[in-house]
């Protein structure tokens, strides 16, 4: 299968915003190092409720599945799950509007 665009949404737990930012600095680097994502520049944004949105491109369905077998990726994902809630796009108020807008977010 061809490449897949994905949106990962993380709402940091109270007081964990900086820690999430620190973990996310390594997230994309780790996916790149494991050769799981394309060279397309990821986009990061933030919803009004503080949810951080990462948009990136998997190389394939197989690459997405391989991420679950990678100890390096699983380490990052486990760190994220300890400090943030994984959310769906529909949970954001912005998703209820056409042409939703989000603030830029940089790590």
In a domain, 60, yes or no: yes
In a domain, 107, yes or no: no
| DSSP labels, 37-59 | B-SSPPEEEE-TTS-EEEEEEES
Secondary structure E strands in the chain = 4-12, 43-46, 52-58, 84-87, 103-104
In a domain, 101, yes or no: no
Counting the structural domains of the chain, the total is 1
32 in Cβ contact with 40 (< 8 Å): no
Q: What mean pLDDT is predicted for residues 87-101?
A: 96
In a domain, 18, yes or no: yes
d(CA 27, CA 57): 13
- Domain housing 25: 4-88
Q: For the whole model, what pTM was predicted?
A: 0.91
Q: Which of 70, 87, 84, 81 is nearest to 30 (CA)?
A: 70
Q: What mean pLDDT is predicted for residues 79-105?
A: 96
In a domain, 96, yes or no: no
Bridge-based pairing of strands 103-104 and 84-87 is unpaired
What does the pLDDT look like over 57-90, one tens digit per residue? 999 999 999 999 999 999 999 999 999 999 999 9
State the pLDDT at residue 1. Answer: 56
Q: What is the CATH number of the domain that holds 53?
A: 3.30.70.100
What does the pLDDT look like over 6-50, one tens digit per residue? 999 999 999 999 999 999 999 999 999 999 999 999 999 999 999
State the pLDDT at residue 2. Answer: 80
């Amino acid at each position: 299968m061809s490449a897949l665009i994905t949106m990962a949404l993380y709402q940091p737990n109270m007081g964990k915003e900086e820690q999430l930012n620190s973990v996310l600095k390594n997230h994309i680097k780790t996916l790149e190092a494991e050769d799981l994502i394309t060279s397309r520049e990821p986009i990061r944004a933030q919803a009004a409720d503080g949810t951080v949105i990462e948009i990136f491109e998997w190389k394939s369905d197989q690459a997405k599945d391989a991420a679950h077998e990678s100890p390096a990726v699983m380490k990052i994902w486990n760190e994220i799950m300890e400090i943030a809630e994984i959310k769906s796009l529909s949970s954001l108020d912005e998703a209820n509007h056409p042409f939703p807008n989000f603030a830029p977010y940089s790590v």
